[in-house]
Amino acid sequence: MRLNRLSVKNFRNLRDVTFFPDQKVSVLYGDNAQGKTNLIEAVYLMSGQKSFRSAKESEFISFGEEYSRIEADFDCGGREQNAALFLGQKKEAALNGVRVAPSELTGQFLAVVFSPGELSLVQEGPAFRRDFLDGAISQVMPRYLSTMNALGRVIAQRNTLLADGNRFGSRDALEPLLESWDMNFARVAYSILRARSRFIDRLQGPAAEIYSEIAGGKGLKLTLLYEPGIAPPPGESWSDVPQKEGEAHLREELLRCRGEDFRNYCTTHGPHRDNMEVLLDGISARSFGSQGQQRSCALSLKLAQCRVMEETLGEAPIVLLDDVLSELDRTRRDFFLKGEHPFQIILTSCDRQIFRSVRTGSSYRMKAGELGAARKKIPKENKAPPPKTEDGKA
CB 26 within 8 A of CB 318: no
pLDDT at 77: 83
Q: Distance (Å, rounded) from C-alpha 156 to C-alpha 308?
A: 32
- Cβ contacts of residue 368 below 8 Å, gap of 6+? 13, 34, 35
pLDDT tens-digit readout, 225-271 = 999 999 999 999 999 999 999 999 999 999 999 999 999 999 999 99
Quote the DSSP letter at residue 61: B
d(CA 26, CA 364): 7
Average pLDDT over residues 274-290: 94
Percent of the chain scoring above 90 in pLDDT: 70
- Res. 213 pLDDT band, cuts 50 70 90: confident
Per-residue pLDDT, 383: 56
Q: Provide the terminal-to-terminal Cα distance of the chain, rounded to the nearest Å.
A: 41
- What's the whole-number average pLDDT of the chain? 90
Cα 248–chain centre separation: 32
pLDDT over 70 (residue 392): no
Query: Taking Cα atoms as reference points, which of 65, 20, 2, 9 lies closest to residue 42?
Result: 9
- What pLDDT is recorded for position 341? 81
The predicted-structure confidence for 122-138, as pLDDT tens digits, reads as follows: 999 999 999 999 999 99
pLDDT band per the 50, 70, 90 thresholds, residue 65: very high
